[in-house]
């Protein structure tokens, strides 16, 4: 039986976190390795985007953790513990953390990536006005910029379509200006609505 078939059967073909039944995919709970065993869970797009920090955490969505934290599936418990810790400023989440128990090995796994540390808005790509930037968005330059390694100057007001966020640096996005792919600092752009 394939991993997808196993997950569909185990989950009843629904998200193992929030029970949604549409847009489901496999999420491999990091880090991967022999010591963590079977680390895959079945999640919906909303859960996946927030787990992978492509979207801000929505505390209302994660109220589903009241049920999923009690799952018999260890990776579901790990994800629940991490999200509850990221939301620990919410009274209900702090209460649930106090009720949750992970044995030493699973607690070590839950802490291994640092994903349990409270998520700041600094982890997200934001424009000069604080608007959330996502891959595919269109932005406008708010300052003229010299493009390093070329003689191009990107003028104020230049529109950059279909940007890509840089996964390891929330202050950088990538986009094409005059046919050249460049890195742009988020503080110099404004998102177009």
pTM assigned to the model: 0.63
What pLDDT was estimated at residue 122? 45
Look at residue 97 in the predicted model and tell me its pLDDT: 92
- The proportion of the chain whose per-residue pLDDT surpasses 70, expressed as a percent, equals 92
Please state, rounded to an integer, the average pLDDT across all residues of the chain: 88
User: What are the start-end ranges of the H helices in the chain?
Assistant: 3-11, 45-51, 65-68, 74-86, 91-99, 104-111
pLDDT in tens, 126-162: 899 888 888 899 999 999 998 888 888 889 999 999 9
Q: Which domains does the chain have, with CATH numbers?
A: 3-119 (no CATH), 124-191 (2.30.30.40)
Which whole-number Å values give the CA distances from 96 to 44, 58, 122, in the listed order? 22, 16, 26
Residue (of 141, 145, 133) closest to 173 by Cα position: 133
Rounded Cα distance between 59 and 96, Å, is: 13
């Amino acid at each position: 039986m394939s991993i997808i078939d196993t997950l569909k059967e185990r989950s009843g073909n629904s998200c193992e976190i929030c029970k949604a039944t549409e847009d489901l995919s496999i999420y491999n709970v990091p880090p991967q390795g022999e010591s963590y065993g079977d680390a895959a869970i079945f999640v919906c797009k909303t859960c996946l985007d927030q787990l992978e920090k492509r979207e801000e955490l929505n505390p209302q969505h994660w109220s589903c953790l009241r049920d999923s934290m009690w799952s018999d599936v260890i990776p579901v418990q790990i994800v629940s513990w991490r999200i509850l810790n990221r939301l620990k400023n919410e009274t209900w989440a702090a209460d649930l953390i106090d009720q949750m128990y992970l044995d030493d090995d699973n607690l070590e796994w839950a802490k291994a990536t640092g994903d349990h540390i409270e998520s700041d808005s600094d982890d997200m790509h934001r424009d000069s006005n604080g608007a959330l930037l996502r891959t595919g968005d269109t932005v406008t330059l708010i300052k003229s910029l010299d493009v390093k390694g070329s003689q191009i100057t990107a003028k104020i007001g230049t529109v950059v379509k279909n940007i890509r966020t840089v996964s390891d640096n929330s202050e950088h996005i990538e986009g094409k200006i005059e046919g050249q792919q460049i890195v742009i600092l988020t503080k110099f752009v404004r998102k177009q609505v």
